[in-house]
Structure 1
Amino acid sequence: MIEVSYVIPAFNEEERIEKTLKALVTLTGHNEIIVVDDGSTDDTAEIAKRYATKVISYRVNKGKGYALKEGWKEAKGEYIACLDADLEESAIEVTSLLEPLKNGEAEVAISIISPGKKAGMGMVKKRVQSLVYQKTGVKVEAPLSGQRVFHRKWLSVLLKRTYQGFGIETQMTIDLLQAGASYLEVRTNMKHREMGRTMKGFYHRMKQWLDIERQLRGVQS
């Protein structure tokens, strides 16, 4: 039986995905790596094929929410680990998230990543923390973290939902908490690309917030 399914959505990540996958390949156990190439126009898919158990590719970008869900459908592991493609060597820190699940301490574990020098102002994060608390009564520190592991028993809950792009982390957090999953946040040394207070960074956060708003409006309708 496959123990862990690593599901990695990737869009134009040729510069970083190889180091991410190399780190995961070194981990012991009967695992699988599923890369969802979400319409990349660079060599992301070709690089992924060197290391991944399975690569799913789309000709057009369909968004992170769609990509992750398609990866989950293929996952056979007892634990599903969702990881960003740009973690590089720090992807190996996923072991810190898997440990509490294997020990029975939690059914969902999410990485808290310390903000770097180029971090943004945290407005989206604070807003999402407030939304999650309003809907679940639970205060969370890292509701936007893309680095998260859950037991496959919760796939039945998650696969019912249509996720909107970058709104997936917010809605996943709400769905799992409302369904009664035991939830643990773990501080790790994971690192990924930071866009900071640049035009690209502000655009990314605006897109992230719009996806979250669309996601929540969809829930209410």
Structure 2
Amino acid sequence: MSRISIILPAKNEAAALKDLLPRLTAAQPGAEIIVIDDGSTDDTRGVCAAAGVECLSSPYSMGNGAAIKRGARAAKGDILVFMDGDGQHDPLDIGRLLARLDEGYDMVVGARGWESQAGVGRGMANTVYNWLASKMTGQVVADLTSGFRVARAHRFREFIHLLPNGFSYPTTSTMAFFRSAYGVAYEPIKAAERVGKSHIRPLKDGLRFLLIIFKIATLYSPLKLFVPVSFAFFLLGTGNYAYTYFLHGRLTNGSALMWSAAVIVFLIGLVSEQITALTYRPHE
């Protein structure tokens, strides 16, 4: 029987953990539970000690993704469960995610509905992220940024070196699993209102999420990004040439420049495709 390790990154989440940890222990009595204290200044360590839960503390805040990586390295289980430490995720949902994993998937993500989004702005942003990721991967991505997921430990650890230290580890891990042809499933969940104040800054982190989608696109399938851009430059150059030829009967430097840009962008895409293949070589 597979052993389960539950990893909770936490930064000043003592109030939420006081209620969450007993519920988690009751829902998964045989699981290893690890709280990664990301430089908290509250009583996070004391709450963990009182609940009999292992707590790994950082001397200062390194980021949500850094906490996830530390927890994944320390976990002893064959299956990793990632949950937010702010009380949004219901421990009883873990069983449903694990059941989907038994169907042969390598990762199962708890997918939030619109009613579980923290505000209209974030809900609309997540809808855009899901759509872009679906187009890039050719798969249905129901919730790209959900922090509630279960994964096979040996699969997840293949991509630890790719994960950023910030809040975008769910984005990166999802795209990496798709790129490596590992099965990903989505299980609907309802997220409760978090306890305390969110550490996410909507504008700054929202822009970062969007940039990371394009960054991962270059790692996932570079030609899907570079070929359309190259084609757009080619069309612009051709259109400019047609205009200047019929108007002035000559080829302009602008057309030549845009055609050159089309060739350069396409060649960059080819090189990036080769780098991607090397990045995702199987680890022995």
TM score, norm. by length of structure 1:
0.85
Report the counterpart of residue 65 of structure 2 in structure 1.
65
Change in CA separation of 1:73 and 1:44 when aligned onto 2, cut-off 3 Å: same
Aligned partner of 2:46 in structure 1 is: 46
Q: What amino acid sits opposite 2:110 in the alignment?
A: S
Segment drifting more, 61-70 vs 131-140: 131-140
Aligned mates of 1:78, 1:71 — CA distance in 2: 13
Provide the aligned C-alpha RMSD in A: 2.8
SS at match of 1:112: strand
What is the aligned counterpart of 1:212 among 194, 197, 209?
Answer: 209
Change (3 A) 1:201 1:42: closer
Match of 2:16 in 1: 16
Q: Deviations over 1:137-192 (max 9, x none)?
A: 11211111110000112133222214141111111110111111111110124424
CA distance in 2 between counterparts of 1:52 and 1:169 reads 28
CA gap of 1:23–1:107, structure 2 versus 1, over 3 A, is: same
Q: 1:110, 1:148 within 8 Å by CA — same for their partners in 2?
A: yes
Q: Which deviates further from its counterpart, 176-185 or 51-60?
A: 51-60
Q: How many angstroms apart in 2 are the aligned matches of 1:153 and 1:202?
A: 30
Residue 111 of structure 1 corresponds to which residue in structure 2?
Answer: 110
Identity across the alignment (%): 24
Corresponding residue SS for 2:162: coil
CA contact (8 A) 2:27 2:91 kept: no
Residues 99-145 of structure 1 show CA distances to partners (whole Å, capped at 9, x for unaligned) of 111x2342211112332486333232123213312431112111111
More helix by share: 2
Residue type matched to 1:176 in 2? Answer: F
What amino acid sits opposite 2:111 in the alignment?
I
Q: 1:52 to 1:179 in 2, by over 3 A?
A: farther
Report the equivalent of 1:182: 183
Give the letter for the 1:91 counterpart. P
Count of equivalent residues: 216
Partner residue, 1:83: 83
Q: List runs of 5+ in structure 1 lacking aligned partners.
A: none
Change (3 A) 1:89 1:183: closer
Letter in 2 for 1:78: D
The code of the aligned residue for 2:100 comes to P
- Report the TM-score, using the length of structure 2 for normalisation: 0.67
Matched, 1:55 2:55: yes
Segment of structure 1 superposing worse, 46-55 or 14-23? 46-55
Q: Cα 1:89–1:120, aligned 2, differ >3 Å: closer, same or farther? A: closer
C-alpha change, 1:50 and 1:214, in structure 2 (3 Å) is farther
In structure 2, distance between residues paired with 1:117 and 1:152: 28
Distance 1:131 1:88 in 2: 26
- Runs (5+) with no aligned partner, structure 2: 220-284
Q: Distance in 2 between matches of 1:216 and 1:136?
A: 11
Larger Rg: 2
Does the Cα contact within 8 Å between 2:133 and 2:213 map onto a contact in 1? no
In the alignment, is residue 163 of structure 1 matched against residue 195 of structure 2?
Answer: no
> What is the one-letter code of the residue matched to 1:161?
L
Deviations 1:80-106 (A, max 9, x none): 0000012268222211111111x2342
